């Protein structure tokens, strides 16, 4: 497994948020995390990225423990986190936002090729290439955030609520591009998403969190066939 969490707990100060979460992401695979607000989805991603304390359990990436590592150490191993809220650098152009993601790279020719790949993937960004990030729409900012993370050449892309705040049609466009990014790059993904229908369009499997615990997991087909999941997350 590329990423494996086993029975982790996590806390903000004295407040424990995760009680018992386990999940795994295979090399090149895509896994979703579903759950209601407050279930611990974002905290799980922060535990992986090293921005929240994990007193118990194990987190392994490519077979090596990363529990307790600093965020910059985790990122250097090949885990790129696209946070909720996108983290747009509003005073920088689209190009410069993308280059921020590549700041540790020295393969300058490949950096330019990767930018061209992203502009083909996200044609809206090509049209707004010289515009400041603050001038972009919400959907364009989300595309740029995904692209900036990809520019670090990660092995695992961690996405927190890519559809948050987007109109349904825009969210579908963003997910279509993310799906193409996965297919064409082979990058592994871990996706937190409230809209399970969107998540299921790109992930192979998912886990369901409830009050800080992973209570259910399975393939996309298995979860889509589960009556409780369908009623709670698919609206059917």
Helices (H), the chain: 41-49, 71-77, 94-101, 108-121, 123-127, 138-150, 168-185, 196-200, 220-224, 227-229
Q: Is the four-CA dihedral 200, 8, 73, 43 of positive or negative sign?
A: positive
Average pLDDT over residues 70-92: 84
Which residue in this structure is represented by tokens 């290439």?
A: 129
Is the separation of the CB atoms in 164 and 84 below 8 Å?
yes
Averaged pLDDT of the chain: 90
User: What percent of the chain has pLDDT above 70?
Assistant: 96
Q: Are strands 79-82 and 64-65 parallel, antiparallel or unpaired?
A: unpaired
Q: What pLDDT shows up at residue 117?
A: 93
Average pLDDT over residues 142-157: 93
CA dihedral angle for residue 135, residue 141, residue 145, residue 150, rounded to 10 degrees? -100
Taking the domains of the chain in order of start, what are their residue ranges?
3-234
Contacts of 195 (CB under 8 A, 6+ apart): 163, 171
In this prediction, residue 48 has a pLDDT band, given cuts at 50, 70 and 90, of very high
Spatial CA neighbour of 90 closest among 138, 43, 153: 138
Is the separation of the CB atoms in 17 and 10 below 8 Å?
yes
Is the separation of the CB atoms in 198 and 165 below 8 Å?
no
The pTM assigned to this predicted structure is: 0.91
User: What percent of the chain has pLDDT above 90?
Assistant: 62
Q: What pLDDT shows up at residue 136?
A: 86
Q: What secondary structure does DSSP assign to 136-150, as a single string?
A: S-HHHHHHHHHHHHH
- Give 107-137 pLDDT, tens digit per residue: 989 999 999 999 998 898 998 888 887 888 8
In this prediction, residue 226 has a pLDDT band, given cuts at 50, 70 and 90, of confident
Q: Quick check: 49 pLDDT over 90?
A: yes
- Give 51-70 pLDDT, tens digit per residue: 999 999 999 999 999 999 99
Q: Quick check: 85 pLDDT over 70?
A: no
Contacts of 176 (CB under 8 A, 6+ apart): 201
In this prediction, residue 235 has a pLDDT band, given cuts at 50, 70 and 90, of low
In this prediction, residue 232 has a pLDDT band, given cuts at 50, 70 and 90, of confident
Is the separation of the CB atoms in 50 and 66 below 8 Å?
yes
The superfamily CATH assigns to domain 3-234 is: P-loop containing nucleotide triphosphate hydrolases (3.40.50.300)
- Give 204-216 pLDDT, tens digit per residue: 999 999 999 999 8
CA 158/CA 22 separation, integer angstroms: 16
Q: What pLDDT shows up at residue 134?
A: 82
- Give 162-209 pLDDT, tens digit per residue: 998 888 998 999 899 999 999 999 999 999 988 888 999 999 999 999
């Amino acid at each position: 497994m590329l990423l494996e969490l086993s029975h982790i707990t996590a806390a903000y100060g004295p407040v424990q948020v995760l009680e018992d979460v386990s999940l795994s992401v295979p090399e090149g695979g895509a896994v979703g995390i579903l759950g209601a607000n407050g279930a611990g989805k974002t905290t799980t991603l922060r535990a992986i990225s090293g921005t929240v304390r994990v007193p118990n359990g194990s987190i392994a990436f490519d077979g090596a423990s990363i529990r307790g590592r600093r965020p910059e150490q985790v990122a250097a191993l090949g885990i790129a986190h696209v946070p909720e809220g996108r983290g747009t650098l509003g005073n920088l152009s689209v190009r410069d936002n993308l280059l921020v993601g590549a700041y540790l790279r020295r393969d300058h020719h490949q950096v330019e090729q990767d930018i061209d790949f992203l502009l083909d993937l996200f044609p809206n960004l090509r049209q707004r290439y010289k515009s400041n990030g603050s001038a972009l729409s919400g959907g364009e900012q989300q595309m740029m955030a995904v692209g900036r993370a990809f520019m670090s050449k990660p092995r695992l892309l961690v996405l927190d609520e890519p559809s948050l705040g987007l109109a349904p049609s825009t969210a579908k466009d963003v997910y279509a591009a993310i799906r193409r990014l996965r297919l064409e790059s082979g990058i592994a993904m871990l996706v937190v998403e409230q809209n399970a229908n969107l998540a299921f369009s790109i992930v192979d499997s998912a886990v369901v969190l409830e009050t800080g615990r992973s209570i259910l997991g399975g393939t996309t087909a298995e979860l889509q066939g589960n009556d409780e999941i369908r009623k709670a997350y698919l609206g059917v």
